[in-house]
Structure 1
């Protein structure tokens, strides 16, 4: 009874991964509740019905991260990918 540990060090990476996933979900939930033009929390806003607020929707969807990565290659490590896939380099 005296030598066993309840929390082993091997599970710390699992806790970290789950913590990051929960953090991302919480961030997205808060972002949608606070600034999404299609989410209406208060009764007064819900009573307004369908609004044609295209500029507000475009402002929500064209956020800073999307503008940052717009003209970049959709690869995480393009130099390593090119090294292993481009026949001219070998």
Structure 2
């Protein structure tokens, strides 16, 4: 196989990690350019200066994922944490 000469199997996890990092950075860049209230690409909007647009800023900061996380306990694995912190002691 010609591909095995250039790319070894040990490189695939590295490519996966780099791909995930580039994907997350690209997502954040596009999100900031498109919907961040402080970023203005058009010259007409930049001339407005500082806007006191608190509602738009709050909508940007309190996105769907953050609203979902605020309703959850701040634990990664709550069932395992509860098992080890509150064990049922036999009588």
The equivalent of 1:34 in structure 2 is: 34
> Which residue matches 1:64?
64
**Structure 1 residue 22: Cα displacement:** 0.6
Question: How much does 1:36 deviate?
Answer: 0.3
- Structure 2 unaligned spans of 5+: none
TM-score, structure 1 as length reference: 0.85
3-state SS, counterpart of residue 56 of structure 2: helix
Cα distance in 1, alignment partners of residues 10 and 46 from structure 2: 48
| Distance of 2:33 and 2:44 partners within structure 1 | 15
Separation in 1, partners of 2:65, 2:22: 20
Distance in 2 (CA, whole Å) between partners of 1:13 and 1:5 is 17
Query: 2:7 is matched with which residue?
Result: 7
Q: How many residues align?
A: 86
Alignment of 1:49-60 (within 5 A): 49-60=49-60
C-alpha deviation, 1:87, in angstroms: 5.1
**In structure 1, C-alpha distance between the alignment counterparts of 2:18 and 2:68, rounded to whole Å:** 27
1:22 equivalent to 2:22? Answer: yes
Unaligned ranges ≥5, structure 1: none
Partner of 2:87: 88
